[in-house]
Amino acid sequence: MDSRLRGNDSGGRVMEIEENFLYTKEHEWVSIEDNIATMGITDYAQEALGDVTYVELPEEESEVEQFEQFVSVESVKAASDIYAPMGGKVVDVNRKLEETPALINKDCYGKGWIAKIDVRDMDESTNLMSAEEYRNYLDSLH
């Protein structure tokens, strides 16, 4: 909405969390397999944003630093910065989001993935939260 309208989630819905993923404080998730980090935004983030209407995807082959802003996700009333959970080279982006950004609302941990990053330094994963740590973090926000 505008600068005077700030939402809070008073719905009390239980947020879904994928057990084997890692999480950031900015509510991105990441799943790392064979050095490739697939990332997106969490259930908490998509719920807070509401209907996603536009995703500004990063350029393929671009280099990003961990926690650098590299994606913008827009809902009807606001735009939000999304940060890279791991540093490296962007090797793939989810082009389906260009036509169907609502995939982020419908399936944020699956078909609503945003980008894949070829990880530069696996040690950066120690800066992320486990599912349990993220659940505790969400509890601390309310």
Partner 1 sequence: MANIPSVEALLHNTPLADVHAALGAKMVGFGGWNMPLQYESILSEWDHNRKTVSIFDCSHMGEFMIKGDAVACGLDSIVTQTITDMPVNTCRYGAMLNEAGGIIDDLIVYRKGAEDWMIVVNAANIEKNARHFRAHLNAKANFEDASFKTAKLDVQGPQSRDVLKALGLAAIEKLSYYTFGQFQIKGVPCLISRTGYTGELGYEIYCPWEKCKEIWKNILDNATVKPTGLGVRDVLRVEMCYSLYGHELDETISPLEAGLDKFIDGKKNFIGRQAVSAQTPQRTIGYFISASRKSPRAGNKIFDAAGNEIGMVTSGTFSPALNAGIGIGFMDSPRRDAGVEIFFGDEKSKAAAVVAKRPFYKFGSLKT
Size of the site for partner 1 (CB under 8 A): 24
End-to-end Cα spacing for the chain:
22
* Distance in Å, CB of 56 to partner 1, minimum: 7
Nearer to partner 1, 41 or 86 (CB): 41
Among 2, 33, 34, 61, which residue sits at the site for partner 1 (rule: CB under 8 A)?
Answer: 2
Helices (H), 2-130: 43-49, 96-99, 103-106
Q: Write phi, then psi, for 92 (nearest 5 degrees).
A: -160, 145
User: Within 50-69, which residues bind partner 1 (CB under 8 A)?
Assistant: 50-51, 53-54, 56
List 16, 35, 62, 76, residue binding partner 1 (CB under 8 A): 76
Q: How far is the CB of 101 from partner 1 (least distance, A)?
A: 7
**Token pair recorded at residue 100:** 């169907």
Q: Which is nearer to partner 1, 51 or 68 (CB)?
A: 51
Q: Does 95 bind partner 1 (CB under 8 A)?
A: no
Q: Which residues contact 142 (CB under 8 A, 6 or more apart)?
A: none
Q: CB of 85: closest distance to partner 1 in angstroms?
A: 22
CA distances for 122 relative to 12, 52, 86, angstroms: 35, 31, 8
Please state, in angstroms and as integers, the Cα–Cα distance from residue 58 to each residue in 22, 94, 113, 137, following that order: 21, 10, 13, 28
2 vs 123 by CB, closer to partner 1 = 2
Report the interface residues with partner 1, using CB under 8 A: 1-12, 50-51, 53-54, 56, 74-79, 101
